[in-house]
Amino acid sequence: MLIFHLGPLATSLFSLLAILALVLSFVMLASHWLKNHVYAFAAESWTIAAISASIGYYGHYPELYVIAALTALFRGTFLPYLVIRLVNRLDIQREFTPLLKPSSSMILGAALVIFSYEVSRQLGIALHLTDNIAVLALTCMFSLKLIGFLMMILRSEAISHILGLLVIENGIFLGSQILVPGMPALLELVIIFDLLTIVMAFGMLVRFLQTHAGTTSSRGLQKLVG
DSSP letters of 72-137?
A: IIIIIIIHHHHHHHHHHHHT--B-S--SS-HHHHHHHHHHHHHHHHHHHHHHHHHTT-TTSHHHHH
User: Near other proteins by CB under 8 A, which window of 20-28, 45-53, 92-100, 180-188?
Assistant: 180-188
Residue 172 within binding range of other proteins, rule CB under 8 A: yes
Q: Which is nearer to other proteins, 42 or 174 (CB)?
A: 174
C-alpha 224: how far from chain center: 30
d(CA 180, CA 46): 19
What is the closest distance, in whole angstroms, from the C-beta atom of residue 103 to other proteins in the complex?
A: 25
With residues binned 3-state (H G I as helix, E B as strand, rest as coil), the percentages for the chain, rounded to 5, are 80, 0, 20
Applying CB under 8 A, among 19, 30, 43, 179 the residue interacting with other proteins is 179
Residues of this chain, 97-156, that bind other proteins according to CB under 8 A: 122-123, 126-127, 141, 145, 148-149, 152
Site residues (CB under 8 A) for other proteins?
1-2, 122-123, 126-127, 141, 145, 148-149, 152, 158, 161, 164-165, 168-169, 172, 175-176, 179-184, 187, 190-191, 194, 197-198, 201-202, 204-206, 208-209, 212-214, 221, 223-224, 226
